[in-house]
Amino acid sequence: MDAGRPIIQVKDLRKSFGLSEVLRGITLDVSPGSVLSIIGASGSGKSTFLRCLNYLERPTSGDIVIDGEAIGPSSAGGRRTSGASPKDIARMRAKLGMVFQQFNLWPHMTVLGNVIEALIQVKRMPRKEAADVGRRFLAKVNLLDKEGAYPAKLSGGQQQRVAIARALAMQPKVMLFDEATSSLDPELTGEVLEVMRDLAREGMTMLVVTHEMGFARDASDRVIFLHEGKIEEDGTAAQVFGAPSSERCQRFISSALG
Amino acid sequence: MFATLHNAFDPGLFWEYRVGLLTGLLRNVIIFAESAALAAALAFVVGAASLSRRAYVRWAAVAYAEFFRNTPEYVLLVWVYFVLPLIIGKVVGTKVNLSPEVAAVLGLGVAYSGFLSETVRAGLRSVAYGQTEAALSLGMSGFTTLRRIVLPQAVRRMLPDTVNQLVSLFKATTIVSLIAVQDIMYQVSMISVAEMRPVPLYTGAALLYCIVIICATQLFQRLTERWRRRGWA
């Protein structure tokens, strides 16, 4: 349904922690501009998968190609020496914006300071220019009036929107959301999901690990269901939610929507 | 009896020797500042090393901290002053002398780096790993992350403990008179021998120390308080 090269190509990605293999061979292409939701029970490897994409976890083996650039161990059992240099990894990470469950805003910096820090440190942007860019993205998440506040003064939903602005300000090719609403009170998830829906409408490529079945069903082009480190179900939202072929996926969805 | 006591406390004596005493105090302050700088520098290296991914680096750091934390400052001081030159001399092949001042700074510096490295370690660990992950995920290097994200938070949390350590270090500078550094205690003991009146001089020295430390601590507390007010819940 989408022409052109996939923006993310993953081939046979595996990750073990000690003896337990958390990802058992994930192969996946993501086309630019699409929204992919990743669902599954806790421990199914969703978050680990997302974290492997930007090397917060080092994959044990497998190929990851981001925007045409290969990163990481390319053969099974690849050693560190075959991996990418810290510089390559940092460059690749700058192309992927990540939003965390716990927001992870830096408490010693103002809202604007949080948003522009990487622009200054990584993109070497002059402070003034960075502040202009930062304000543009704060306006996008409707928090321009909070630019001088410290994170501790904000609600959870506001903090998460700042975190989204911080990731967006780097103008990444892909946004990764790792259970971005899971630690929010129910009445605060709406404002964050709204920002995410806006992004999706604007054509941002998004990988969304989520327990929000509503978002997965309505806002994504494609949904995958992970079970024990493997993709068990893969299809459009309508397919996965309407007529999943895997019985396990069916059970998961009916209990999650329940 | 009251008269004897007054006579014994005679602050005039203290005033009379003010130049010698203040020069001595200044020496204490200098030795304090230099050994504090040395201790802090070593503590950062050792504290960071104690959180290294490599086991042997961690072990070396722990061994270092344990050794210096559990050896009395006085023993270290004497060891650095008397033993270290002998060892260096053996290695280099000539006679080496360490000045008492250098030995004092080295001895106190390493002794307190052991304590301070624990503070650094605890401070670094108190910063949640998510803080680092957020920085890395934006493409920051490990060093930039440490410098811009982790250290600023860690240092502020280390501060109260560090102030306590520094107060101890300042008090510990009084033992340098034992290796003949001409600090205030050295001056006091010389003068009181000459005048045969130890009470006013030793009492004066005690008060002087107390005043200096209280002033310094107050200053630090103001500073931390200001940091706390700036968005630190």
Q: Which of residues 122-141 of B touch A (CB under 8 A)?
A: 128, 130-131, 133-141
Mean local confidence (pLDDT), B135-158: 92
Which two tokens mark A147? 């630019």
Predicted local confidence at residue A78, as pLDDT: 41
The stretch B66-84 carries a mean pLDDT of: 92
Work out whether strand A20-30 and strand A8-17 pair parallel, antiparallel, or are unpaired.
antiparallel
According to the model, what pLDDT value does residue B230 have?
64
Structure tokens that stand for A20 in this block: 């337990």
A208 within 8 A of A39, measured Cβ to Cβ: no
Higher-pLDDT residue of B127 and B13 is B127
- Name the percent of chain B lying above pLDDT 90: 44
Query: Rounded CA gap, A156 and A183, in Å?
Result: 8
Which residues form the domain of B101? 2-229
- pLDDT of amino acid B1: 53
Q: Of A222, A239, A241, which is closest to residue A28 (Cα–Cα)?
A: A222
Q: Do A166 and B137 touch (CB under 8 A)?
A: no
DSSP state of A246: S
The confidence score (pLDDT) of residue B216 equals: 85
Question: Which of B133, B139, B153 lies closest to A170 in CB terms?
Answer: B139
User: Measured between CB atoms, does A106 come within 8 Å of chain B?
Assistant: yes
Read off the pLDDT of residues A60-105 as tens digits, 9 standing for 90 and up: 999 899 988 887 654 444 444 445 788 889 999 999 999 999 999 9
Contact B134 A106 (CB under 8 A): yes
- For residue B166, how many C-alpha atoms fall within 13 Å in the half-sphere facing its CB? 20
- Give the residue-averaged pLDDT of B212-231: 80
Residue B61 tokens, joined: 């750091």
CA quadruple A192, A193, A199, A202: dihedral sign? negative
State the nearest Cα–Cα gap between A12 and chain B, in angstroms: 23
Q: Which residues of B touch A130 (CB under 8 A)?
A: none
H helices within chain A, ranges in order? 46-53, 86-95, 111-121, 127-140, 156-169, 186-201, 213-219, 237-242, 247-257
| Contact by Cβ (8 Å): B101, B31 | yes
* C-alpha to C-alpha distance for B150 and A258, rounded to whole angstroms: 43
How many folded domains does chain B comprise?
Answer: 1
Specify the pLDDT at position B178. 87
| Chain A: closest CA distance from residue B224 (Å) | 14
| pLDDT (0 to 100) of residue A177 | 97
Locate all alpha helices (DSSP H) within chain B, ordered by sequence. 2-9, 11-16, 18-49, 55-69, 73-78, 84-92, 100-125, 129-137, 142-144, 151-172, 184-195, 198-229
> Residue B141, SS3?
coil
- Token pair 């994959």 is at which residue? A59
CB contact (8 A) between residue B139 and residue A150 = no
pLDDT digits (tens, 9 = 90+) for B13-36: 778 888 888 888 899 999 999 999
Q: Is B196 exposed, middle or buried (0-12, 13-18, 19+ CB in 10 A)?
A: exposed
State the CATH architecture for A8-257: 3-Layer(aba) Sandwich (3.40)
d(CA B60, CA B80): 21
Helical axes A186-201 vs A156-169, angle rounded to 10°: 20
Q: Which two tokens stand for residue B184?
A: 């205030």
Name the average pLDDT for chain B.
87
Task: Write down the pLDDT at residue A77.
Answer: 43
Per the CB < 8 Å rule, is B134 touching A100?
A: yes
CATH code, domain with B8: 1.10.3720.10
Identify which has the larger pLDDT, A257 or A106: A106
The ipTM estimated for the assembled molecules is: 0.92
Is the pLDDT assigned to residue B232 strictly greater than 70? no
Task: Supply the pLDDT for residue B20.
Answer: 84
d(CA A71, CA A53): 9
Work out whether strand A61-66 and strand A230-235 pair parallel, antiparallel, or are unpaired.
Answer: unpaired
Nearest to B139 among A93, A102, A108 (CB): A93
Confidence band for B233, pLDDT divided at 50, 70 and 90: very low
- Least reliable range by pLDDT among A70-74, B17-21, B122-126, B194-198: A70-74
